[in-house]
């Protein structure tokens, strides 16, 4: 119900908002109020920018990396199972 009215902000705007917060000397709630957004939204943007700066990856790249690691783990398990099945059937046919 609330998602229909949800506003979208560009990544550039989010980064500028975080920069404004960091350079203003004001607290998170004050800056969020001035920008017309919730303090939890600005807090999430700060966390996003911190993660980008820490890892050098964008949030999309971080999500893709998580997805690929999960897929890799699943594929490793499948390879292990197939190896065991191959050995089982090879020994069975002797």
Domains of the chain: which residue ranges? 9-56, 58-94
Q: Name the DSSP letter for residue 74.
A: H
Report pLDDT digits (tens) over 2-46.
566 788 999 889 999 999 999 999 999 999 999 999 999 999 999
Model pTM score? 0.61
pLDDT in tens, 37-85: 999 999 999 998 998 888 888 888 888 999 999 999 999 999 999 999 9
């Amino acid at each position: 119900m609330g998602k229909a009215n949800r506003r979208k902000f560009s990544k550039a705007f989010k980064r500028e908002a975080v920069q404004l917060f960091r350079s203003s000397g004001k607290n998170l709630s004050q800056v969020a109020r001035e920008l017309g957004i919730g303090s939890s939204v600005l807090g999430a943007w700060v966390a996003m920018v911190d993660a980008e700066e820490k890892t050098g990856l964008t949030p999309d790249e971080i999500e893709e990396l998580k997805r690929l690691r999960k897929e890799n783990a699943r594929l490793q398990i499948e390879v292990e199972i197939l190896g065991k099945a191959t050995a089982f059937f090879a020994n069975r046919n002797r």
